Amino acid sequence: MKVKGRRLKLAGAALLVQFYVVWALGFADYVPQLYNFKVLQASASLLVVGLLLMLSGYIKDVARQVVADKYFRSLMIIYFAATYYITYSAMTEYYQLNIGVSLDTATFLQSFASATLYHRLFDSFEVPTYFYNHASLILFLVYPLYITYPSIATLVTIEVALATLPTIPLYRLGLRLFGDRRYALLTALAYLLFPWVTTYLAGPFEVVILTAPFFALALYNLYMGNRPGYWLSLTLMMTTIEFAPLLGIFIGLYILVTKLDWLKVKGRIALGLETLAFSLAWLFGDFLMVYYFSRGAINIFQNVWGSALSGPLISITDPIGNAIFHFTTHVGSGPSSSHNVMPSLSSVLESLANNVKTSLHTKIQSTVFLMLPTLFLNLAEPQNLLLLPWLYVMWQTTFPPYYIIWVYYTALAAPAVIVPAIWALRKFRPRVRRALMVTLFIAVTISTLFLNVLSPLSALYFHEPLPNPLQPATTPYDLALI
């Protein structure tokens, strides 16, 4: 059986790689006949088959558990129902011609079209390549999945399915914590219902949202002692956005300061240092990637809009980028062009203080709301180190999307709250642990009912009228929903 499993994985890997070979040969015009939508679509379909073959062992385990465990079967039904509901809710924004949602998503639709039809590497109306602004290598994985059936619905389904994916393995974490399938179900549903995991899925497609599931899976595999799963999840997390390596750095620090029952002290130190080195190397690679594709116009540290430390970091790294790529002038018109001179310490501190005061009430509210659904149980874990990058950016920025909790940048923090809150329950006696899990589940459920924009009851919090599905359509946009 092991030999058969290995053969399936090798066949799957071959089918996975063939798409990129076909696409690259056609894109580079070495074999022009391959650069054809129908050919690429067929090749992408084979890639999907390859992924399924590579995951066949895991899929079989899930199928067996569905048959044998009624609680896990209930979880899978709820998971697919939630995925459908969230996807449907997100699609209504496009049918209603929501300009903000449509414009951001159109960037990705154009990027994929340019890579399929026009020999352009993820080009759009915004930038000549998506890598001009962001180091999002995960586009190379999303792209073939998308072109199997190119549509907004496909893109949204991919996003929603990935964003909610950690729900399934967290059932096993619940079994480890409680040894009871009922509480394992509550554990998995607590993640699915945590409002800051799904609330922004009603908005545009954004690669930063894909950071959250791989972040959560990295933590899950770390807790369960699955080293290959940890490195795979961590690597996929790194490919999402240039902010992800910062999270990796703090994961490394967390490993160094906490106890893991599957690692001795030397092993923990080694894994922590390996994670730190890997994250720093990836951060430097992201910097070089964006610097190269923008020809020095964009420095990734300027993407933290409004931060007082962006200027010093840009001043330090710009000469490195110019020395490597020999860009004689810095052509950017953004913040980096004004930071060629290292600011003084006093000016940095003054800027830090002033930035904290900007929308202070909203920043306090966002910080409290982030942890409130878990009843602040996450504070029992030193893993709150993982919140520091997001908290710093949120409190230091003057850019509202970074500190308004309903915006998709919260994906960089949500897993660092809900997953540690669940893991922290191991510190309590079994009876107390179970009572806390029930309380946590109730708190998360109430929070998502009133704070998650996907819930009709959230209208009460936002002081809006409750949606009435029986109300007749009165505008052309609403008529499109019928």
Q: Which two tokens stand for residue 96?
A: 């209603």
Give the pLDDT confidence score for residue 307 in this predicted structure.
65
- What does the pLDDT look like over 179-193, one tens digit per residue? 999 999 999 999 999
Q: CB pairs under 8 A, 24+ apart, for 75-78?
A: 75/167, 75/168, 75/171, 75/185, 75/188, 75/189, 76/168, 78/189, 78/192
Residue 479 lies in a domain: no
CA angle 341, 342, 347 (to 5 degrees): 115
Residue 178 lies in a domain: yes
Give me the residues of the chain with pLDDT under 70, please.
Answer: 1-3, 305-309, 328-345, 468-482
Give the pLDDT confidence score for residue 342 in this predicted structure.
61
Alpha-carbon torsion 422, 173, 231, 55, what sign? negative
**3 state SS of 257:** helix
Give the pLDDT confidence score for residue 473 in this predicted structure.
52
Residue 216's domain comprises: 69-327+343-464
Give the pLDDT confidence score for residue 239 in this predicted structure.
97
Q: Count how many domains the chain has.
A: 1
Residue 52 lies in a domain: no
Q: Which two tokens stand for residue 31?
A: 């074999």
Judge contact between 314 and 302, C-beta under 8 A: yes
Residue 42 lies in a domain: no
- Look up the pTM and report it: 0.92
Q: Please report which helix (H) or strand (E) contains residue 474, including its range.
A: none
CA pair distance 14, 6, nearest whole angstrom? 12
CA pair distance 44, 228, nearest whole angstrom? 26
Q: In the Cβ-directed half-sphere of 11, how many Cα atoms lie within 13 Å?
A: 12
Residue 29 lies in a domain: no
Alpha-carbon torsion 280, 419, 444, 424, what sign? negative
- What does the pLDDT look like over 389-426, one tens digit per residue? 888 888 888 888 889 999 999 999 999 999 999 999 99
Residue 91 lies in a domain: yes
- All residues at 6 or more sequence positions from 125 whose CB lies less than 8 Å from its CB, including other chains: 106, 107, 110
Residue 193 lies in a domain: yes
Residue 3 lies in a domain: no
Please provide residue 375's backbone torsions phi and psi, each rounded to the nearest 5 degrees: 55, 30
